[in-house]
Amino acid sequence: RRAAFAALRDLPPETRDGHRLTLMVNAGLRDDVAALDLTGADGIGLFRTEFQFLVSATLPQRERQQRLYREVLEAAGERPVIFRTVDIGGDKALPYLQHDGADEENPAMGWRALRLSLERDGLMKAQARALIEAAAGRTLNVMFPMVSEPWEFDEARALFDAQRTFLAGRGKRLPIEIRYGAMLEVPALAEQLDLLLPKLDFLSIGTNDLTQFLFAADRANPKLAERYDWLSPSILRFIRRIVGPAREAGVNLAVCGEMGGRPLEAMALMGLGIDRLSITPAAVGPVKAMVRSLNYGALKDFMDELLVRPPRDLRAPLTAWAEQQGV
């Protein structure tokens, strides 16, 4: 099977009836970029910049951050890379960064990600400068994690714009364009989509955190792991609600959580109208094989029907449909 997946490397993730999925990979370290050539992926849909912070004994200085970002961009070449600003704090506490994460009762819902970045803005300013300088002469894609309300996106973007202006004033070579996106992983943000979408170049649904917040179920608690399924009517209907408004606003919509790396889940997402996925590199072959055996029109009809009066377990009917279709 591995050889069969490798043979798919240079073939597009396109359905039998000609619907093209954009298939990207998640990455976080310099060496992960090799996955682009190994898998034939369309780009990096989620570069988790906090990895560099988590593996360092001391706070990575701006120059070190910049070096990593430039190496990643150079290795990616023409393919886009979406850099997510640091998602640290809470359960991803850093010993060298003074904060009270360890004492929080609910660190996953605590002082983390953009919440921390907007307060500790020295950290975010350094990261903004590192990213902007690293992307000189190219397009820079920046994504903010754990956006809960539109004003948080505005503040984060303003911070980047200010750094851009600062660097321009010092005669630095700038990116051709900076594109800004948000992660949708806090359910509250979905209630203000109409206000958020006009501000965005792209939006990416983080189903790992979204699931835990939507179900109020800790994603790291093994006692709950079996209880809430990614293929639940609540998750699928929630995601479906985002698709139409994003398309109307002309905002690229992706899913970058682990869910998209499982072929059956990826199929369900496509059936909801998601046509961009960013997944773990090892999943590219299996997901591409699924996509290439799919009839997209038939899938859309099946999903629409299935979500009208969904049974408790969607895994069984989705599996049966896939088998019957030869997926």
Residues that bind ligand PEP (CB under 6 A): 46, 48, 87, 185, 206-209, 256-257
281 binds, among ligand PEP, Mg ion, none (CB under 5 to 8 A by kind): none
CB of 258 to Mg ion, least distance (A): 10
Element holding 254 (H helix, E strand): strand 252-255
Nearer to ligand PEP, 42 or 185 (CB): 185
50 binds Mg ion (CB under 5 A): no
CB of 206 to ligand PEP, least distance (A): 3
Report the first-to-last Cα separation within the chain, whole angstroms.
15
CB of 118 to ligand PEP, least distance (A): 18
296-306 and 315-325 are packed helices; what angle lies between their axes, rounded to 10 degrees?
160
Nearer to ligand PEP, 140 or 256 (CB): 256
Nearer to ligand PEP, 214 or 290 (CB): 214
Nearer to ligand PEP, 208 or 325 (CB): 208
Burial 11-25 (b: 16+ CB within 10 A, else e): eebebbeebebbbbb
What is the CA 19 to chain-centroid distance, rounded?
Answer: 21
CB of 269 to Mg ion, least distance (A): 17
Angle at 184 between CA 179 and CA 186, to 5 degrees: 140
- Name the residue with the smallest CB distance to ligand PEP: 206
CB 113 within 8 Å of CB 50: no
Nearer to Mg ion, 138 or 276 (CB): 276
Q: Which of residues 174-233 bind Mg ion (CB under 5 A)?
A: 185, 206, 209
Nearer to Mg ion, 92 or 138 (CB): 92
Residue 205: φ, ψ to 5°? -85, 120
CB of 217 to ligand PEP, least distance (A): 13
Residues whose CB is less than 8 angstroms from the CB of residue 224 and which lie 6 or more positions away in sequence, other chains included: 217, 218
256 binds, among Mg ion, ligand PEP, none (CB under 5 to 8 A by kind): ligand PEP
Structure tokens at 147: 């956006």
CB 87 within 8 Å of CB 146: yes
CB of 143 to Mg ion, least distance (A): 11
- Number of Cβ within a 10 Å radius of residue 49: 24
13 binds, among Mg ion, ligand PEP, none (CB under 5 to 8 A by kind): none
Element holding 279 (H helix, E strand): strand 276-279
Assign residue 295 a region (left: φ > 0; alpha: ψ between -120 and 50; beta: otherwise).
beta
- C-alpha span between 150 and 168 (Å, rounded): 27
CB of 87 to ligand PEP, least distance (A): 6
265 binds, among Mg ion, ligand PEP, none (CB under 5 to 8 A by kind): none
Nearer to ligand PEP, 143 or 267 (CB): 143
Angle at 163 between CA 162 and CA 165, to 5 degrees: 65
Q: Is the dihedral of CA 255, 256, 259, 260 positive or negative?
A: positive
Nearer to ligand PEP, 115 or 164 (CB): 115
CB of 154 to ligand PEP, least distance (A): 22
257 binds, among ligand PEP, Mg ion, none (CB under 5 to 8 A by kind): ligand PEP
Name the residues that contact Mg ion, by CB under 5 A.
185, 206, 209
